[in-house]
Structure 1
Amino acid sequence: MKKLLSACLILFTVVCSAYAADEKEAAPAAEYAYYGFEPEIVTNYISNRKKLGFVKISVELMVKSPDDLVIVERHDPLLRAAIIEVLGNQAEEKVKSLTGREEIRRECFDMVNNLLTKEAGKPLVVNLLFTSYLYD
């Protein structure tokens, strides 16, 4: 009887320690939230042709927590204007190339975080995504 009780106790200890190790390894899930600019952003860019070039994009901002959405929403007009300014200063070749698109996205990301740092005291945006990107 003592051997059976000892075996059960050892088994229980091993199972409990394995369960505790799993809990320690599991990191708490991040509560990312997304803010989308509505309506889509439409603006002109620098074109080599006689016809004006335009770009129409959907932008989503990824923030660390739902609490940050309130701050981002409050500064929506400022952030939208900054993105329009960045897009309006781009050359046609950059707007139409994949590498140029990534450079523009990165420039928008940096501009948005710089503005949020000035206005809110810290950079809130983890990532800036172009979910739609059309140009002519």
Structure 2
Amino acid sequence: MFKSLVLRVFAVSLFVFGCSSALAQDKANYAYLGLEPEIVTNYISDSAQKLGYVRVSLELMIHDVNQLEIAEHHMPLLRSTAIEIFGQQPAEKVKSLTGREDIRRAILKALQEHMQQETGGEVIKNVIFTKYLYQGA
């Protein structure tokens, strides 16, 4: 009876540790790629007399290390897309935390769509702002 219980506990622990190591291996395949240099661009200001600008550092989370070269090849398209999206944002969105998250999601969606069109696969998993500064009226 005791021997059977010990064997069951051992079997369950092997299963649990095996699953956690498999998950760790899946996560280990991600790569990160920074958009260098950081993005500095204007956004739509409330006042026509003053320009607002944003300065942002972006990191792209790539699905697989093997796709890193593909993402680097398409870097001009990725940078251009991020700059274009920031340039279309109103001041309220740029300055608020919820607006910042909306901008991040819009950039992520646009980058994923572009990479789907260009490569036929989803290359970019996530977009991370590592620096976010704005100034304007």
TM-score (norm 1): 0.84
Measured after TM superposition, the shift of residue 17 of structure 1 is: 3.5
Instruction: Please state how far the C-alpha of 1:123 moved relative to its aligned partner.
Output: 1.5
Deviation string 1:46-68 (CA, Å, 9 cap, x unpaired) is 11221111000000011121111
Partner of 1:96: 95
Cα shift at 1:19: 5.7
Greater Rg over alpha carbons, structure: 1
Q: 1:17 to 1:38 in 2, by over 3 A?
A: same
Which residue in 1 is equivalent to 2:43? 45
Partner amino acid for 1:24?
Answer: G
Specify the alignment match of 2:80 in structure 1.
81
Q: CA deviation at 1:111?
A: 0.4
Aligned mates of 1:94, 1:18 — CA distance in 2: 50
SS in 2 for 1:126: strand
Identity of aligned residues (%): 45
Deviation sequence 1:69-94 (CA, Å, 0-9, x none): 11110000001000000000011111
Is residue 125 of structure 1 aligned with residue 124 of structure 2?
yes
Q: CA RMSD in A?
A: 1.9
Question: Runs ≥4 in structure 1, deviation > 3 angstroms?
Answer: 15-20
Structure 2 counterpart of 1:4: none
Q: What is the CA–CA distance in structure 1 between the aligned matches of 2:91 and 2:107, rounded to whole Å?
A: 17
For structure 1, the residue ranges without an aligned partner over 5 or more in a row are: 1-6
The aligned counterpart of 2:113 is 114
Q: Deviations over 1:20-52 (max 9, x none)?
A: 434433342222110001100010011122111
Structure 1 SS opposite 2:41: strand
- The two structures have a TM-score, normalised by structure 2, of 0.84
SS of structure 2 residue aligned to 1:47: coil
Q: Which range moved further: 20-29 or 49-58?
A: 20-29
Q: How many residues align?
A: 127
Question: How do residues 34-73 of structure 1 correspond to structure 2 at under 5 angstroms?
Answer: 34-49=32-47, 50-73=49-72
Structure 1: distance between partners of 2:93 and 2:52: 12
Which structure 2 residue ranges, 5 or more long, are not aligned? Answer: none
